[in-house]
Structure formats: structure tokens, C-alpha cells
Amino acid sequence: MSHELKRVLLKRYGQNKHLKIDHLDTANFTETGRGMKSDVDFEANEFIISFPNEALLTGKRMCQELPHLEEQRVKHHLTNELVLVFYLAFYCEEHFPEYYASLPKEFPNYWLYWSKEDWDSLYEDRVLRRKIKVEKRRYHSVMGRVEMSNKEAIVMDQNHHFLLFMEPFKLAWAQLNTRTVYLSDQWHDVGKNENNDDSTLNWALAPFLDQFNHHHDAKTVIHDDSEKFAIKVEKKHGKGEQLFISYGEHPDVFLLLEYGFIIGNSNPHNLIELTNTTVLRDPVTKKMAIDFGCGDGHAISLQGASWSLLRSLHLIILDSWNDPIVYEEFDKWPKSDQCLVLNELGKVVHFERKKFVKISDTIKNQVLKQYYYNQIDLLDQFKEIYLDKKIIAEI
């Protein structure tokens, strides 16, 4: 389906649901792909989009409109998250063709679609692998709970693999997790009560809203009440400009795993997290660091090095603590201690850079490869800003 037809169908939906979207239009942009542009000038503190609550797709509302989906929810004890996944996978195309047409059907840069070769290439990046394993456990635990609610959609092979179910479920999982909005249960009846501990009850889908791209500097405010879910801008925007919203103050590693895109080192929230084993390899030193409150939170960014990283390096070098130093600012340490710690920090930067170069040489996915190029660039900038000048800032 062409972009123009998708645009027309989605606009028609917006008009039918009384969305205030006449001043908006979807467009393709060179740097960000499909996004939202303004057809008018927006003043500061003006709403750019407003949803009546009935236009939001909640699990509860979809079950009310689709009795068969409600039967599955009750029979298989589906969480709200799973109700929405099932809706996207097996009901949305017929129930809401305009929205279905607007949804991406491919997610090559979302972690769930990375190749086994690229996954194997991440072996030495324990930080990213650990984060992905958390996502994988969540995905597979949900898959394990399903026990195949939608039996008419299933064909099993001789190994009892669910052939027709897994691919639509996988796609719907990516669609939901890359475009969920979170509603306030103060204003929305999402089915929350003392007997329901489902943490995803406030998840919803907002057709048309998910056409907005993220920018870390987007000045937007969410307005959520009993009548509408709306977003306003805090600064002026001219006609024809791309309109951005903020998905939150997140580093690229979060954006990569949650949404499948990165910004680059113009993102002020980027950092390089270090594992305990990178910094504290000796068990005795590690225990001492934990006792002194600096056993984790080791990180580097363009804003400096973390408090705990500098103190852990000090502990490694001197193998003991001068207690007051733990609580003193770095620039008040003895010069000799500062020099030793900065030299050790230089070794950490060199080690991380070498690791990232090796990974970037083997990765095939271009967004993932660029992520590592950006990490290398961040380390190079960090070295130039701080280590080459024998200074450091604490974060």
C-alpha cells in the first residue's frame, strides 16, 4: 500500500474519531523517514494533537468491541499487554484496516529481528547482552504463558513449534512495544482493581500519534484527563516543519532496544556503562568497593566519569582507602592520586575502544554497526576533553 493511500486512510479515521488533526500531515523526511509535519504555524503552549478517550485503543475497549477476544482473555488469563498483542496480530486488519495499514510490517533494527550472527558478535559487550537477555526473558515468558490461545491460527510441525502463530505474534510484539502510550489510571478506566496486579493495564495504542518521531530536545507536554489525551508544544513551530515529541530522556542504548533506532552523539543522554568485571575483577577489591558504596554505577559520558567509577579505580590502584577521599570531590584529592586514577581510567577507555572496534568490524546490521561507531567516537571525545588534559568531571 502506498504512503499516500495510508495517509488518506489514517486521516479518514481521525476525522471519524473527531481527532483534531486537520493541521497535521504525515510525510517522508530524509533523516528520520516517515514522520509528522505541521500544515500551520504553531504558537508556544498550543496543542498539536488531541484524542478523545474513545479514540484510544485499550485492551478493555477492544475486548468490549470484540467478544471473541474477550473470550480468549478470560479463558487464558491474558494480561492487557497480551490482549493488545493478540489484537494487532489477529484482529486489527479486519477490525481497524486504516490503522493496520499505517503500521510498519518490518522491524529490521528491533532486537527481536537481529540475526544470530549479529547476536554472536555482541559476545564481548556484556552490558548490551545483559539488557537484551532481560528483554528476551520477558518475551519468552509471555510466549510460554500463551499456551496458544488462538488455536485456529496455529499449525504445529513435528517438533511442536507454532508455525503460523509465532511470526504474527512476533510482529505484533514489536508493533506494540515500539508505539505504546501510558495512560493515567486516575482518568482512564483500564480495569484496575485490588484483585488485578497486571502492570500493563495502562498500556494503550494511539493511532496517528505514533506517526510522531522522537527528538531529545522536543519540548512537549502530555495532557491526560477524563475527556482527552493530548500533547502540546512549549515552543513555536513553523508551517511545514517536522513535529517531534519526546519519548523520554534516554540514551541511545535504550532507544535501540525499545524502538530500534539511535540518534548519535548529539544525544546528550548517551553514556558508556561498564560492567563490574571490567573495573573490579578482583573479588576482594569488588567486596571493598561494594562496602564503600561504589561497587556499581560505573559509567563514562561526555559529561565526565561517574562518582563510583573514579573511587573504584582509586581502590584498585592503592588497594586500600583513605576514608575521607571517598566523600571528597575528585579535584580535592592529592595530585598524585588524581594522576594515578586518570592513568587507570585511560586504560579502561583503551580497553573499551578496542572491544567496540572489534564488534563493529563484525556486525552486519547497519544501525547496530553505527551504534558502535558512535560509542567509539564518544570514547575518543572523552579522551580529548578530559584525559589528554589530565582533568575529569564527576557525574
pLDDT tens per residue, range 27-76: 888 888 888 888 888 888 888 888 788 888 999 999 999 999 998 888 87
Q: Which residues pair with 33 in a beta bridge?
A: 29
Residue 291 burial class via C-beta count within 10 angstroms: exposed 0-12, middle 13-18, buried 19 and up: exposed
The rounded mean pLDDT for the chain is 84
The full set of domain ranges for the chain reads: 3-259, 272-389
Q: What is the model's pLDDT at position 371?
A: 97
Q: Given CATH 3.90.1410.10, say whether it is the number of domain 3-259.
A: yes
Q: Where are the alpha helices (DSSP H) in 178-240?
A: none
Q: Which three cell numbers stand for residue 33?
A: 523517514
Antiparallel, parallel or unpaired: β 304-305 and 299-301? antiparallel
Q: What is the pTM of this model?
A: 0.87
Cβ atoms within 10 Å, residue 215? 19
pLDDT of 292: 82
Q: Model confidence over 99-155: pLDDT tens digits?
A: 898 899 999 999 999 999 999 999 999 999 999 999 999 888 877 666 554 444 444
